[in-house]
Amino acid sequence: MTLQDELESALYKEARKLGEPVSVVREKFEAGDPEVAPAELLIDAIKRMAIEDARNVELEQAHQTIRLLRGQIDELESKLEETIRTSK
């Protein structure tokens, strides 16, 4: 998700919380109205992006580990098959 997407999501959430249309909350945000705490909305959006990035890194590392382990399993299975063939 982009920062714009995260911020849009935060604006919708804030609008629901305040019981106001998102267009009104967006105008207040753009005007720097403290009622909608624009700085906090930005910080929260950036934090969510950082968390998502960290999760993506963890997920990619897990996929790499899985690929490595699958390779090791394949190698061990081949060695086992070879051992069984040569022992007959």
Residue 88 has pLDDT above 90, yes or no: no
CB of 34 within 8 A of CB of 25? no
Q: For 17-24, which contacts have Cβ atoms below 8 Å and span 24 or more sequence positions?
A: none
Domain boundaries, the chain: 3-86
Percent of the chain predicted with pLDDT > 90: 89
Question: Residues 3, 9, 13, 18: is their CA dihedral positive or negative?
Answer: positive
Residue 59 has pLDDT above 90, yes or no: yes
Which pTM does this prediction carry?
0.64
